[in-house]
């Protein structure tokens, strides 16, 4: 393709390639100095032309990036930050407190015992740091906020944090009576683009779409599900008549209550076991209700037949893959048993010569009976992986 001047038409911005620029400069030089001038790649003049062409190409590429920054589909980095402001949103910031999961834990032991720089551990093997100094109270217990050592959405149900990593004389036990608040890392470009797409529904005429778009904008929200029952009777899920039911993971209770109040229709009942007493502009108290998700740990037994090349690392990979898949589920989604087969089998390597085959896979909600049927999940529940509940056994 020959060199052309950059232009914009209905399909976007068009710029010439580096090769086209070099060819055009060589042809222009020959028109000036004669066709017999030596301008092969090993000549000094050609090398100079290539340097100039590179500078021109770099400038054109910069123009291309600036042009792309005009749309949330093609913008990146700070350009994307600027363009999503048109939708009234911004990138969720990198906040140290929000990046790491936090959980209120109860420490028990001898009254007056000082616990300095203590570390505890959950059932999944993740370590949690206590404040620099905690003193057990007169009643033999004290509450403290533990912070996970690993960034991101690390989950811990009630009772999961139960191991002392740094033993101290007089400190006897640790437990968490409530679930952890999952951490949230800085929002990536793809995540921000997905949220921008959802946010366009906020000013729409569809109330439910606007509510979903507003909930996802609340800082700290990771997963959510919204149900509507517009009938005169309790529906198949057991949700009240003329109600909306929001199940939300992450985010501040008061902030979520304000958002739901602002987006719901007048007279619509908000269903849930978390109650926020929202004060409206007339100083009236309006109770707004929603649910927090209930995490269901899934017990899995994978029976594999070891084939050539199978090692202990395959066992670890199967457990990690199944656990991660369970952590990625959406609120209220049932668990197909075939999905667990896929998660485990994905670690077999080349399918033409796999390291193992699966002969059986059973699963159940922790505490239940292992089986091969799909697992039903309630409307306000979400699956959670626990490596300790995932077992790989070998087919004799």
CA angle 259, 261, 265 (to 5 degrees): 120
> pLDDT band for position 93 (50/70/90)?
low
Is pLDDT of 396 > 80? no
Tens digit of pLDDT for each residue in 322-363?
999 999 999 999 999 999 999 999 999 888 889 999 999 999
> pLDDT band for position 88 (50/70/90)?
confident
Tens digit of pLDDT for each residue in 230-241?
999 999 999 999
Name 302's bridge partners.
361, 392
pLDDT for the residue 94: 59
pLDDT for the residue 201: 65
| Stretch (H or E) spanning 176 | none
Tens digit of pLDDT for each residue in 165-193?
999 999 999 999 888 888 877 778 888 88
Tens digit of pLDDT for each residue in 6-51?
999 988 899 999 999 999 999 999 999 999 999 999 999 999 999 9
Token pair listed for 355: 């390291």
Over pLDDT 70: what percentage of the chain? 96
pLDDT for the residue 29: 93
> For 157-185, b where at least 16 C-beta lie within 10 A, e where not — what string?
beebbebbeeebeebbebbbeebbbbbbe
Contact of 309 with 350, CB cutoff 8 Å: no
pLDDT for the residue 203: 59
pLDDT for the residue 96: 54
Name 300's bridge partners.
363, 390
pLDDT for the residue 13: 92
Contact of 246 with 238, CB cutoff 8 Å: no
Helices (H), 241-336: 253-263, 312-327
Higher-pLDDT residue of 184, 297 = 297
**What's the pTM value of the predicted model, to 2 decimals?**
0.54
Tens digit of pLDDT for each residue in 104-128?
999 999 999 999 999 999 998 999 9
> pLDDT band for position 258 (50/70/90)?
very high
């Amino acid at each position: 393709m020959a060199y052309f001047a950059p232009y914009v038409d209905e399909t976007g911005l068009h710029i010439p390639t580096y090769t086209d620029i070099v060819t055009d400069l060589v042809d222009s030089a020959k028109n000036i100095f004669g066709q017999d001038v030596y301008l092969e790649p090993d000549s000094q003049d050609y090398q100079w032309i290539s340097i100039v062409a590179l500078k021109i190409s770099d400038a054109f590429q910069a123009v291309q990036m600036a042009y792309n920054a005009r749309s949330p589909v093609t913008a990146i980095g700070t350009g994307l930050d600027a363009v999503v402001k048109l939708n009234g949103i911004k990138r969720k910031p990198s906040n140290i407190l929000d990046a790491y999961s936090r959980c209120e834990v109860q420490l028990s032991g001898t009254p007056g015992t000082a616990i300095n720089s203590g570390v505890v551990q959950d059932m999944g093997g993740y370590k949690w740091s206590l404040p620099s100094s905690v003193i057990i109270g007169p009643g033999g217990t004290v509450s403290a906020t533990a912070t996970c050592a690993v960034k991101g959405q690390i989950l811990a149900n009630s009772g999961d944090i139960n191991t002392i990593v740094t033993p101290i004389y007089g400190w006897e036990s640790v437990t968490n009576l409530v679930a952890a608040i999952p951490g949230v890392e800085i929002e990536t470009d793809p995540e921000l683009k997905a949220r921008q797409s959802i946010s366009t529904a906020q000013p729409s005429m569809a109330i439910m779409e606007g509510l979903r778009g507003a909930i996802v904008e609340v800082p700290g929200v990771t997963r959510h599900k919204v149900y509507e029952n517009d009938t005169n009777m309790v529906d198949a899920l057991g949700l009240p008549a003329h109600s909306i039911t929001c199940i939300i993971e992450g985010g501040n209770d008061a902030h979520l209550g304000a958002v739901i109040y602002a987006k719901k229709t007048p007279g619509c009942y908000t269903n849930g076991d978390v109650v926020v007493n929202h004060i409206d502009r007339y100083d009236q108290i309006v109770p707004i209700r929603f649910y927090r998700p209930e995490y269901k740990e899934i017990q899995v037994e994978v029976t594999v037949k070891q084939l050539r090349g199978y090692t202990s690392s395959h066992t670890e990979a199967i457990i990690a893959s199944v656990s991660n898949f369970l952590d990625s589920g959406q609120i209220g989604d049932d668990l197909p048993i075939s999905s667990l087969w896929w998660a485990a089998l994905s670690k077999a390597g080349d399918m033409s010569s796999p390291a193992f085959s699966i002969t059986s896979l059973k699963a159940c909600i922790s505490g239940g009976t292992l089986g091969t049927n799909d697992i039903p999940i309630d409307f306000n529940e979400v699956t959670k992986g626990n490596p300790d509940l995932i077992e790989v056994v070998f087919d004799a």
